[in-house]
């Protein structure tokens, strides 16, 4: 593809930029090269831009499209519901049905409250934790992302310090409120968590983490680390909160907590829950969630909106019914992609690692091996990854510049083959570019 081929997206971005800051409605979308793309259609594993290029899609709407674009069961449920109304401002049967399904699938879920975005589900979880404990402080981990709402933006991708794997300050420090109530702990360092709790434990309501540090580099917890965090929380009377906005339903029907066997007190869920229809949930132990009966304000005009709820019910139906075939297939395809990328990288002499967690891959360029901590992730180079994703786009693969790839149930063996051919060509281009600039 030459420059001319992105004319439609470039023209759209110029128009949008007149009336939308940066021309995008979520800051990170502006980072895509050669230009942020405008799309017209998505179906299955493919997405089509305004210039008519079809891509194999690994952005997957930033994660929600676990079943691919337009999964028939979900679309049919939404069509049927459309004829019966969109938003009632009151209850409907599908809400309790959805809560029951979440309780059945997610180990830590005994009661559920619905919201619309992942950021809100995190806020609801933390408010419930403060009410349940009568304490105010929250411990979070370096590089973990919990949404874009101010107090939780400390030290994560898009944080004031700009310390994401792509160090791009999305919120200028002077415009962000973090406050003394957020304490930041290094990931995979049980001693640091024990020390922080020894010092502040009596004031800590919640220890919140991505149980696999997806945004901090797709880093699994070391053996025993989650169990230690669980034990320390119990010892200090604070609640363990898993942010499973990304990992929920994606790593297993019951998310990372099912995979790791460690059960949190509260869980934030979103993304894959709704197959692209906006919906999130906070779920947890009945005793803890019970504070929402009277001590916690929980609001949202669109909470429990009928379209998202029926989409979520249909999604969970598919995940439950097909789990024995769907998850092993996702693991196999993701493994083939990750291994294929690493083998091609070795052939091109590119220092590329593909870290895998369920149907998620995170690429790291020139980072240490093994990669365990956020500091390790930050030691990698971001610019080659940006070049790489640009060349992938030019070769028909839609992948983010951060190197975070979402694999979906709609991806096929043919998609993997096409993708690896594109990876081969993109690596050749990047290697040439890097050699050229080293001369
Ligand atoms: C782990 C995690 N938590 C929370 C969020 C925020 O979700 P939302 O963008 O739906 O507000 C995200 C978004 O990417 C996320 O990755």
Of 265, 296, 321, which one is at a domain's C-terminal end? 321
Are residue 45 and residue 170 in the same domain, yes or no?
Answer: no
The whole domain housing 107 covers 72-321
Are residue 267 and residue 399 in the same domain, yes or no?
Answer: no
Q: What is the mean pLDDT of residues 2-14?
A: 89
Are residue 219 and residue 270 in the same domain, yes or no?
Answer: yes
Cα of 269 to ligand 1 centre, how many Å? Answer: 9
Return the minimum-mean-pLDDT range out of 78-92, 148-162, 205-219, 228-242: 148-162
Cα of 424 to ligand 1 centre, how many Å? Answer: 31
- Asked whether 106 and 254 are in contact (CB, 8 A), the reply is yes
- Asked whether 372 and 387 are in contact (CB, 8 A), the reply is no
Are residue 98 and residue 52 in the same domain, yes or no?
Answer: no
Give yes or no for residue 341 having a pLDDT over 70: yes
Give yes or no for residue 161 having a pLDDT over 50: no
Nearest CA to ligand 1 atom 3: 146
Are residue 154 and residue 190 in the same domain, yes or no?
Answer: yes
Task: Give, as one character, the DSSP assignment of residue 157.
Answer: T
Q: Is the CB of 243 under 6 A from ligand 1?
A: yes
Nearest CA to ligand 1 atom 13: 147
Cα of 145 to ligand 1 centre, how many Å? Answer: 7
φ, ψ for residue 33, nearest 5 deg? -115, 155
The domain spanning residue 423 has which CATH number?
Answer: 3.90.1150.10
Q: Is the CB of 218 under 6 A from ligand 1?
A: no
Confidence of residue 438 (pLDDT cuts 50, 70, 90): low
Q: Is the CB of 145 under 6 A from ligand 1?
A: yes
The 10 Å Cβ neighbour count of residue 283 is 28
Of 301, 321, 341, which one is at a domain's C-terminal end? 321
Are residue 296 and residue 191 in the same domain, yes or no?
Answer: yes
Q: What is the mean pLDDT of residues 186-213?
A: 96
Nearest CA to ligand 1 atom 6: 147
pLDDT for the residue numbered 177: 59
Are residue 393 and residue 272 in the same domain, yes or no?
Answer: no
φ, ψ for residue 205, nearest 5 deg? -80, -45
Are residue 230 and residue 294 in the same domain, yes or no?
Answer: yes
Domain count, the chain: 2
DSSP 214-257: TTTTSEEPPTTHHHHHHHHHHHHT-EEEEEETTTTTTSSTTHHH
Are residue 26 and residue 38 in the same domain, yes or no?
Answer: yes
Q: What is the pLDDT of residues 221-246, one digit of tens each?
A: 999 999 999 999 999 999 999 999 99
The domain spanning residue 149 has which CATH number?
Answer: 3.40.640.10
Q: What is the mean pLDDT of residues 148-163?
A: 62
Are residue 205 and residue 116 in the same domain, yes or no?
Answer: yes
Of 254, 288, 321, which one is at a domain's C-terminal end? 321
Are residue 297 and residue 330 in the same domain, yes or no?
Answer: no
Instruction: At 133, list the tokens.
Output: 């404990």
Q: Is the CB of 118 under 6 A from ligand 1?
A: yes
Confidence of residue 259 (pLDDT cuts 50, 70, 90): very high
Give yes or no for residue 102 having a pLDDT over 80: yes
Q: Is the CB of 146 under 6 A from ligand 1?
A: yes
């Amino acid at each position: 593809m030459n420059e001319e081929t992105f004319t439609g997206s470039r023209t759209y971005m110029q128009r949008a930029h007149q009336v939308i800051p940066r021309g995008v409605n979520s800051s990170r979308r502006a980072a895509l090269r050669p230009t942020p793309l405008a799309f017209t259609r998505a179906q299955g594993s493919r997405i089509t831009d305004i210039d008519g290029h079809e891509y194999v899609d690994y952005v997957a709407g930033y994660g929600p499209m676990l079943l691919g674009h337009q999964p028939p069961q979900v679309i049919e449920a939404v069509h049927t519901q459309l004829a019966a109304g969109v938003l009632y401002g009151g209850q409907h049967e599908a809400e309790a049905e959805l809560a029951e399904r979440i309780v059945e699938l997610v180990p830590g879920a005994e009661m559920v409250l619905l919201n619309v975005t992942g950021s809100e589900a995190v806020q609801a979880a933390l408010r419930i934790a403060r009410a349940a404990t009568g304490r105010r402080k929250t411990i979070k981990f370096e590089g973990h992302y919990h949404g874009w709402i101010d107090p939780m933006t400390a030290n994560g991708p898009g944080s004031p310090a700009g310390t994401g794997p792509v160090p791009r300050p999305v919120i200028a420090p002077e415009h962000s409120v973090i406050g003394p109530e957020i304490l930041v702990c290094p990931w995979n360092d049980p001693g640091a968590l024990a020390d922080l709790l020894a010092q502040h434990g009596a004031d800590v309501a919640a220890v919140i983490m991505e149980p696999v540090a997806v945004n901090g580099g797709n880093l699994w917890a070391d053996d025993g680390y989650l169990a230690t965090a669980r034990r320390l929380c119990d010892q200090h009377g604070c609640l363990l909160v898993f942010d499973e906005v990304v990992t929920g339903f994606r790593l297993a029907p019951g998310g990372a907590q099912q995979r790791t066997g460690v059960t949190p007190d509260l869980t934030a869920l979103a993304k894959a829950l709704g197959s692209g229809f906006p919906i999130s949930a906070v779920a947890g132990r009945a005793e803890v969630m019970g504070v929402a009966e009277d001590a916690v304000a929980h609001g949202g005009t669109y909470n429990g909106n009928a379209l998202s709820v029926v989409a979520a019910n249909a999604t969970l139906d598919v995940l439950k019914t097909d789990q024995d075939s769907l998850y092993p297939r996702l693991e196999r395809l993701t493994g083939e992609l990750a291994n294929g990328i690493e083998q091609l990288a070795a052939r091109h002499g590119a220092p590329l690692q593909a870290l895998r967690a369920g149907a998620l891959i995170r690429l790291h360029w020139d980072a240490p091996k093994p990669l365990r901590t956020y500091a390790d992730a930050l030691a990698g180079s971001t610019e080659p990854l940006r070049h790489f994703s640009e060349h992938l786009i030019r070769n028909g693969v839609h992948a983010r510049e951060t190197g975070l790839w979402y694999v979906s149930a709609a991806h096929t063996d043919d998609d993997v083959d096409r993708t690896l051919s594109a990876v081969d060509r993109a690596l050749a281009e990047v290697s040439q570019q890097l050699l050229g600039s080293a001369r």
